[in-house]
Chains A and B, each alone.
Chain A
Amino acid sequence: TQLLEQSPQFLSIQEGENLTVYCNSSSVFSSLQWYRQEPGEGPVLLVTVVTGGEVKKLKRLTFQFGDARKDSSLHITAAQPGDTGLYLCAGARTGNNRKLIWGLGTSLAVNP
């Protein structure tokens, strides 16, 4: 059973389009992290959200943590080819923020 469901699993869009990636769970997390991974490399942390309802922005990327701290979303505005990659969400349980629970990832391709 997947504890963190990410959707969609694959996404192919044209440059300039907007997109949203979802990360859902029935479990409550103390924090949720979003990573981006490129082929042959390890995940790179983009953001950590901690408070229910929190919204964080990183240039054209907007991250939101659900009020109940069970879900999160990543919205990209005006996607660019450089945004191409695998986006992963990972949740931390209370009291053990290192034993992260990972989603399967969303593979994003932005075509010029």
Chain B
Amino acid sequence: EAGVTQFPSHSVIEKGQTVTLRCDPISGHDNLYWYRRVMGKEIKFLLHFVKESKQDESGMPNNRFLAERTGGTYSTLKVQPAELEDSGVYFCASSETGGSPLHFGNGTRLTVT
């Protein structure tokens, strides 16, 4: 089966621009998560979808970040406008149920200059 796929793998944008990251979970996985790792820091939880509904978005840094999962399939994470501190690796993960193992994508490395 295909794993979790993320696009793009790398993105370099200027401060103030907009970037949209995409995540395609494993087919049939209702649960989708976004995590972020800023250089030198630990991985941190951003939010959790169950199908198309946001189950927990307590980790979203601020209102410049918008996550969607229309139709309960793929998800997008938009950063607008991007700031320097948004640089990092954004990971998406999916799981079949709330208690089953997480499967991570390879991440999107975002660099804001």
Contact = CB atoms under 8 A, between A and B. Distances in A.
Contacts of A78: none
B81 to A, nearest CB: 27
Contacts of B104: 42-44
Contacts of A100: 35, 43, 45
Interface string B1-21: 000100000000000000000
Contacts of A44: 104
Interface residues on A, range: 20 to 34
Nearest to A48: B101
A97 interface: yes
Given A41-B107, A43-B91, 8 more contacts: A41-B106, A44-B104, A45-B101, A45-B102, A88-B43, A96-B56, A98-B33, A104-B41
Contact of A97 (B4, B42, B43, B99): B99
Contact of A98 (B43, B44, B48, B105): B48
Nearest to A40: B106
Contacts, number: 49
Contacts of B93: 42
A94 interface: no
B106 A42 contact: yes
B98 interface: yes
Contacts of A98: 31, 33, 45, 48, 55-56, 98, 102
Q: Which 5 A-B pairs have the closest CB atoms?
A: A42-B104, A102-B43, A102-B42, A99-B45, A45-B101
A2 B56 CA distance: 22
B89 to A, nearest CB: 9
A41 to B, nearest CB: 5
Contacts of A96: 56
B58 interface: yes
B28 interface: no
